[in-house]
Chain A
Amino acid sequence: MRRWKRTHLGTEADRATFRTLHNASLASPALRGGLTVDSAERAAPHLQALLAAPALAITDTDGLLAWEGIGTHHQEHVTKLAEGTLERGATRFYDRVDLECGQAGCPLHSAVVSPLVVDDHLVGTLQAYAPDTSAMMVRATDEVATWVSGQLELAELDASRRRLMEAEVRALRAQISPHFIYNSLGAIASFVRTDPERARELLLEFADFTRYSFRTHGEYTTLSEELRSVERYLLLEQARFGERLSVRLSVAPEVLPIAVPFLCLQPLVENAVRHGLADAQTGHISIRAADSGTECVIEVEDDGAGEDPEKVRNALAGGADSVGLGNVDARLRNAYGDDYGLVVETARGAGTKVILRIPKFAPGVHP
């Protein structure tokens, strides 16, 4: 049965191609972690198989990261060969003279060293060692080095995307609008004479709110903390708007301990307040959090002017119209996968409802 299947898996050339692709796919996940000792050690065996060389080394600009195969005493040459190649910036070929090791019977007489290039910067080398070198070998090493460089560039892209996300969270933290600070302090000031006790309480709420929002540690928090911050925000807004703003909150206590991305509700509630009171004299906002099996469903709703769905789609796709919405959406997808993006139900004149689904557990997500 097995043999029969094998004979039908294509010609020898086809199978060689499959093997090559398979080895490449095995090496790829490690390389996507960037160029480190760990990733190099995990990728090296597959790259060695890919090149069919007796020995293979990966270096960064400082020295050896991983050696795979026979003749480990040649590790002393690795740095010198790497420096020579990095100086030239192109694939180089070394022979017996450069690889003098003095050990009888050592078959490694020649090496092909190709530079690894990410964004036009030399980041390391790929070195293939063999008894003798053919033009094929040089060509193959060069190609593999180019492919590895491509993977490393993707890794760099992942890393910069993550950095961007972190920068956006930092931006959100710093983004407490000057208007909000000004208006809150103004509202508090108006109570200082008439109701000093309330003014004092509001001032404390304001302090706690800013303290939470400027928090510098942790990518995640609990829903209970996030809701508490939202409550403080709404208290301050209510001090300013008084009867104009009414809020309904219904939260299932079971979902309060769930881990959520830091500041994932705050921007949505801010939007709701802004939209809810935009054209109307009074605005109603409702925040619901309910238990739903393995996940929690949170809804933030206002009865304001609504929004053009096309515009919302734009904002979610990363347009600059609404920093908050797109950012929250991106962070949710980043943490929980694409199934967990924001859902926005809106139309002109029909209010807006934003729905978040948060799984109760996701690997690596904890406050």
Chain B
Amino acid sequence: MTFDSAPAIVAVTLVTLATLTIGTWGLRFSRTTSDFYVASRSVRPGLNASAIGGEYLSAASFLGVAGLVFTSGAEMLWYPIGWTAGYLVLLTLVAAPLRRSGAYTLPDFAEERLASRGVRRLCSLLVVTIGWLYLLPQLQGAGLTLELVAGAPRWVGPVLVGTVVLVSVFSGGMRSITFVQAFQYWLKLTALLVPVGVLVAVWGSDGAPRATDLSQTWSMPMGTDGSAGLYATYSLIAATFLGTMGLPHVGVRFYTNPDGRAARRTTLVVLALLGVFYLLPPILGLLGRVYAATPTSADTLVLELPRLMVPGWAGDALTGLVCAGAFAAFLSTSSGLAIAVSGVLSQDVVVPLLRRRGSRFGGVAAFRIASLVAVLVPVAGALLTPSVGVARGVALAFALAAATFCPLLLLGIWWRRLTAYGAAAGLVTGLVTTGTAVVFTISGSRTDTWADVALSQPALWAVPLSFAVMIVVSLATAAHVPAHTTRLLVRLHTPEPTVEPAGPVVALQQR
């Protein structure tokens, strides 16, 4: 299938320019004293939630969901449901205590809670692994998109996204990252909402035709192949519900909230924003069933559908819009992940290495070196490994996060008897089990046995296993519960006062 590539190229260029522009100049405002209080107002929950949404809605959401619904049916709706409901778990159990802990990254949380450098390093390794695993399908998706809409070779997408991310990090564009990411959310929402509106109208004017080959199984929510399908569905639910809290770029954004209460409010808004967004891709999937016979790949349905349904310039314009949204998805998720991974790399790898070699680079230089590594490795990976499909690739990252950081966070926040040894044992267990599954899935050796199903969707057995190991080892090493545990947990769970305490005024009068 060939496309006129002009609208796509224009759209991608515009998104790139807009991203860099807002990133570089968005916040260079200056204020005189009369406006001081405006300047010291923190990021409000609404803006922060848009930014989280912008960073979170990746290519898997933008392209993958519609494609999966198109090819595999209603069963695939569990992906968007899980990706949204993950924030419900985050809201009720994690958001506020995590913010009150003062941790910026997940390794920070581990260090603060368990007072152990070893567990911190283990967490850093995990953050980098999960980040790269998540970046890989994003970059591959970018390659696929540009190949389809602009006829570019497969390598152009990953290289272009990697370059834009690096340029924005190096030019200091991350200084107003919140505004960039919030902009990306609304861009992505628009880029789906407008085409969906137009396409549904077209479908209506065509006399609302029904899909011809809607088999019974396509509309079933629980998979087709008996108990294995049921297992796979539950496992997917476990991975997405519990994995969200362990994604590196999600935790980092919560630091921007001024306190625990704001963190909760932000999460609530995120739930609403994601809920609205995820209404749209399934509609496109269903329309695909009606109008598209055979797309080249599940991930490209969203890009092809506008031209299939609307001929002429209108179809071109819609394609451009969808391309812009898709590219925004690649850029925002990739830069969010790249910054989170670079942060951990610079803190725990680059700075210690540089110091050992006697060099005293400032934090900025170390961060730039780290971001080079953080971007180049997955770009190389995207060029060298075969694609596993955007949504499935992302699901593996979720499974890894669910089997490692979910037990660490939940037990760390809610169980005072967790020890560093227990945490380390659980993290290693999760890494080994889901790591095996990832390698197995990427290597692509598929049979239809139960072992195969269990390995391609590992969360349902790997997460409970990690929890069990963490609890048992912690109980066995009960003497090593950190001394400050109770004090820290009190801090994590004590709500912030709503008004400033009046004590200092009294102190002043005493003087």
Contacts and interface: CB of A to CB of B under 8 A. Distances in A.
Interface of A: 210-212, 214-217, 222, 224, 227-228, 231, 234-235, 238, 246-254, 256-257, 259, 286, 290-295, 297, 339, 357, 359-361, 363, 365-366
What are the 6 A-B residue pairs with the smallest beta carbon separation, nearest first?
Answer: A293-B367, A360-B104, A361-B108, A361-B104, A231-B36, A256-B42
A363 B116 CA distance: 11
A254 B48 CA distance: 9
B112 interface: yes
Contact of A254 (B32, B33, B256): B256
Interface in B172-227: 172, 174-178
Interface string B11-45: 00000000000000001111111001101111100
A231 B41 CA distance: 12
Contacts of B357: none
Contacts of A294: 104-105, 343, 346-347, 363, 367
A85 B351 CA distance: 51
B362 A357 contact: yes
Given A253-B178, A254-B178, A361-B108, A211 B508 contact: yes
Interface residues of B, number: 52
A365 B430 CA distance: 30
B511 interface: yes
Interface string B91-126: 000000000001111001001100100000000000
Contacts of A249: 30-31, 33, 36, 39
A214 B504 contact: yes
7 contacts: A231-B37, A235-B33, A253-B43, A253-B178, A293-B363, A294-B363, A360-B104
A238 B364 contact: no
A292 B363 contact: yes
Contacts of B105: 294, 361
Interface in B476-511: 491, 503-505, 507-508, 511
Contacts of A251: 39-40
Interface of B: 27-33, 36-37, 39-43, 102-105, 108, 111-112, 115, 172, 174-178, 255-259, 339, 342-343, 346-347, 360, 362-364, 367, 370-371, 491, 503-505, 507-508, 511
A42 to B, nearest CB: 12
Nearest to B347: A294
Nearest to A286: B30
Given A259-B102, A291-B174, A253 B342 contact: no
Contacts of A238: 33
Contacts of B177: 254, 291
A357 B32 contact: no
A250 B102 contact: no
Contacts of A253: 41-43, 178, 256
Contacts of A360: 104, 255
B257 A361 contact: no
Given A257-B259, A339-B363, A361-B112, 4 more contacts: A211-B508, A256-B41, A294-B363, A361-B103
B507 A250 contact: no
Contacts of A234: 33, 36
B256 A257 contact: yes
A77 to B, nearest CB: 29
A215 B501 CA distance: 11
Contacts of A252: 27, 175-176
B510 to A, nearest CB: 10
Contacts of B346: 293-294
A216 B504 contact: yes
A183 B511 CA distance: 20
Contacts of A357: 362-363
B343 A257 contact: no
B95 to A, nearest CB: 14
A363 B32 contact: no
A291 B505 CA distance: 33
A294 B344 CA distance: 8
A216 B507 contact: yes
Contact of A248 (B32, B339, B362, B364): B32
A235 to B, nearest CB: 6
A212 B500 CA distance: 11
Nearest to B344: A294
A251 B174 CA distance: 14
Contacts of A248: 30-32
A256 B42 CA distance: 6
Contacts of B37: 228, 231
B153 to A, nearest CB: 33
A250 B104 contact: no
Contacts of B104: 294, 360-361
A359 B178 CA distance: 19
A87 to B, nearest CB: 36
Contacts of A217: 503
B360 A366 contact: no
A67 to B, nearest CB: 18
A212 B170 CA distance: 38
A295 B362 CA distance: 11
A330 B363 CA distance: 19
Contact of B174 (A215, A216, A293, A359): A293
Given A292-B363, A360-B104, A250 B31 contact: yes
A363 B115 contact: yes
B175 A290 contact: yes
A228 B371 CA distance: 33
B31 A339 contact: no
Contact of B28 (A211, A250, A286): A250
Contacts of B31: 248-250
Contacts of A363: 111-112, 115
A347 to B, nearest CB: 21
B360 A361 contact: no
B347 A250 contact: no
Nearest to B179: A253
Nearest to A222: B258
Contacts of A214: 504, 507-508, 511
A291 B23 CA distance: 12
Given A214-B504, A253-B42, A292 B103 contact: no
